[in-house]
Structure 1
Amino acid sequence: MQKVEAIIRTEKLDIVINNLNEINCNGITVVDVKGHGNQMGLTEKYRGNTYKIDLIPKIKLEIITEDTKVDEIIQVIRDSAYTGAIGDGKIFISEVEEVIRIRTGEKGIDAI
């Protein structure tokens, strides 16, 4: 099993979720997060004043899935979240040792 974590732009959430649902990707956790990458935040002007925004609002998706579906999920996220501009986000993949469903005690793939 693998964990796919994706940090995406907030405005891309609906299209990413809709496209993941089309490939039967179930079990998505969505978290509001703030952070910055290489761009180190944003500088914006408002009413003649300049403001530095160090932490930019983003969305974090967490998906636990079978090894065989990881590449398809990654491609859907990349295609759906892409704008071509700095700040499109990142995808992280990590190994999951075990999943246990609290209600039934099921383990592994059956618990997803």
Structure 2
Amino acid sequence: MKYIIAVIQPHRLDAVREALGAIGVQGLTVTEARGFGRQKGQTEIYRGAEYTVQYVPKVKLEIAVDDGLADQVVETISEAARTGRIGDGKIFVLDLEGVMRVRTGEMGADAL
């Protein structure tokens, strides 16, 4: 099993969710996040005053999938989240040792 963490732009969330649903991903966790990378924040103008936003708003997706679906999930997120501009995000893939569905007690891939 793999644990996929994707950090994307908030306005791409619906497109990513729909694309993942189309390939059979049944669940994901979404968290609002803030951060910076190469873009080092951004400058905005509010009521005529210019100020710098140190941390840019992002959305963090967490998805647990079977090994056979992991590459397709990464590709799907990449295609749906890409705008071609700096700040599109990152995708991390980690090995997942185990999972348990709390309601039923199912373990491993059955719990996904």
Give TM class, smaller chain. over 0.9
Runs of 4+ in 1 over 4 A off after TM superposition: none
The answer to whether the aligner puts 1:40 opposite 2:43 as a matched pair is no
Q: Could you tell me which runs of 5 or more consecutive residues in structure 1 were left unpaired when the two chains were aligned.
A: none
Q: Does the residue aligned with 2:51 lie in a helix, a strand or coil?
A: strand
1:54 aligns with 2:54: yes
Task: Confirm whether residue 26 of structure 1 aligns to residue 31 of structure 2.
Answer: no
Distance in 2 (alpha carbons) for counterparts of 1:101 and 1:69:
19
Correspondence list, 1:63-74, <5 A: 63-74=63-74
Once superposed, what is the RMSD of the aligned Cα atoms? 0.8
**Cα offset, 1:37, TM superposition:** 0.9
TM-score scaled by structure 1? 0.96
SS in 1 for 2:83: coil
> Normalising by structure 2, what TM-score?
0.96
Residue segments in structure 2 that go unaligned for 5+ positions in a row:
none
